[in-house]
Chain A
Amino acid sequence: MSEPAGPLDYDRRLWLRAWLAATFVFLYAPIVILIAFSFNDSRRNIVWRGFTLDYYARAWNDTSLIEAFTNSIVIALLATAISTTIGALLALALWRFRFPGKAAVEGALALPIVIPEICMGVALMAFFSRIGWPTGLPWPLNLGAIVAGHVAFCFPFVAIVVRARMAGFDRALEEASKDLGAGEWQTLRYITLPYMRPGLVAGALLAMTLSLDDFVITFFTSGPDTLTFPVKVYSMVRFGATPTVNAASTVLILVTVLLTVIAVRLQRPERTIVEGPRA
């Protein structure tokens, strides 16, 4: 750092660094404040009055909040599992085959990504009401409508990520596998899938993030008898911001970050594997 900054060392310009720092403050300060005030010993979260875990206890004892929280996590996990499976399969179909109407499928696949969320939300709401989607089912079947909606906007992202990964795949490996007597399933299991894995993990991670981040689709597809975290917190916020909301939000942030860290860890050893069939 003793050298004078060259003309292109933009990263060493003070104002640019200050700008970067200010942006991070803008991005993080609200969340940090939200987390800090979940520990604040005051009903109105304006001034710091000392540390307490009271609001965590309150959130824990709020059975409807816990139910909503569990539901949202279950929705995210189910939506991730389904979107990853069907998204990867569709990516394989688009990657491997020529077929009439392919451009139409590709176009339709891009639609859920580009149309405004609220349009998709109201469409799903009208749709489920029209076809008389059964309500009052036992848990977790009562989450079906929300999961179906989440999958509809998550799996196109998985398909895109997986297809991008498959673009680098050498099809000679598949042919070699089949020449050596492996069937379609064995080739998929031992050749294609290991290569696809980083794409699958990235796609699943994206799907889970999108599902946990979602408010709009959940808001419109939640029936009157299903509690979900965003809808529950939304009604709590409308009645006034309380530290309990902060505590519940903090837990959700923690869970999301934790799940992401686990997923990233799962992905890491994959890099060292030799790309190709194992001995």
Chain B
Amino acid sequence: MESWREQPVVFWTFLLPGAFWLLGFFLAPLALIWLYSFGERAGPVDIVVTGTRENYLAALDPIYLGLFWKSFWIAALATATTLVIAFPVALAVSFAPARLKPLLLLLVILPFWTNLLIRTYAMIAVLRTRGYANFALEAIWDLVGAGSGLLGIALQAFEPLTLLYSNAAVVIGIVYVYLPFMVLPLYATLERMDRSYLEASLDLGAGHLRTFMSVVVPLARPGILSGVILVLVPALGTFLISDLLGGPDSQLIGNVIERQFKAANNWPLGAAMSFLLMYVTFAALALRAFLAERDV
């Protein structure tokens, strides 16, 4: 590596365009809403930065605090579900024959090449009362009913579940959209794992379950941490999934921020909430860095 002084012209040519974009279209907008979060509305479009803390106090009102809490729980539940689904998938891919691996990985990533809105929209047809999840459940129910009918027990008629427009639908939507984010880091660590540890564990008499819990999971910790962060952060801030799949009580913090900036037109409050959400995100990242550090 050389000092920038040796080739100043080359250095500035390389650095300036990116630095300009970062400053102009990322840091400046963030700085602006940071200022707005200490401001007051002075008309339909004007905001005066007065250094007030009112917006943060309003954002920490029990109603909004409850929303933060609820967003966190929905995101955490979705992340945990994603982890449970993704772990066996990552394990299966990492143990698959070498020639199949690229194909399997491609299949995991491929849905990601579809717009977020389209994927969320696709879930509507699956989850609604006359949707495919209910059709599948009804088919299973009928099959069970036919079986039990032979035994002389009559089942009641199938009642379709109300899946869409509920918190459950939001969790399912998040799992569906962000599953690839969990599989990939898990796969990356499992792929590098030294298999002789597994052999040793099995040789020494541990069963597969015990080997999995005491050897595989600890070894996969960096991947688990990365995957959890990659899913949790976007899940915390989601507003499209809760907007399209959620019910009246599925409003998450993302929906409230969106409303402050669009319909409710209270930008200072929305800005304060955005920054609180960002601080929560940074706290999660710091926790992850701390845990990763401890592993070394």
Contacts and interface: CB of A to CB of B under 8 A. Distances in A.
A123 B14 contact: no
A156 B27 CA distance: 13
A58 interface: no
B118 A116 contact: no
Interface in A123-173: 123-127, 129-130, 148-149, 151-152, 155-156, 159
Nearest to A114: B285
B244 A237 contact: yes
A123 B33 contact: yes
A256 B179 contact: no
A27 B82 CA distance: 12
Residue in B13, B22, B107 with the greatest tally of chain A CB atoms within 10 Å: B22
A228 to B, nearest CB: 11
A130 B258 CA distance: 18
B14 A96 contact: yes
Nearest to A105: B19
Interface residues on B, range: 35 or more
Interface residues of A, number: 82
Contacts of B73: none
A119 B30 CA distance: 8
Interface stretch (A9-17, A59-67, A194-202, A270-278): A9-17
B95 interface: yes
Contacts of B121: 34, 233, 237, 241, 245, 249
A119 B33 CA distance: 9
Nearest to A156: B22
Contacts of A45: 125
Secondary structure call for the B interface: helix
A123 B125 CA distance: 33
Interface of B: 1-4, 7, 10-11, 13-15, 17-19, 21-22, 25-30, 32-33, 36, 45, 85, 88-89, 91-93, 95-97, 104, 107-108, 110-119, 121-126, 130, 132, 176, 179, 195, 198-199, 202, 208, 233-234, 236-240, 244, 254, 257-258, 261, 267, 270-271, 274-275, 277-278, 281, 285
Interface of A: 7-11, 16-17, 19-20, 23-24, 26-31, 33-34, 37, 45-46, 85-87, 89-90, 92-93, 96-99, 105, 108-109, 111-112, 114-120, 122-127, 129-130, 148-149, 151-152, 155-156, 159, 184, 209, 212-216, 219-220, 229-230, 233-234, 237, 241, 245, 249, 252-253, 256-257, 260
23 contacts: A10-B92, A10-B95, A19-B89, A34-B125, A97-B1, A97-B7, A98-B4, A114-B233, A114-B285, A116-B233, A116-B237, A118-B239, A119-B277, A126-B29, A127-B33, A130-B32, A151-B25, A159-B18, A216-B240, A233-B117, A241-B124, A241-B125, A249-B114
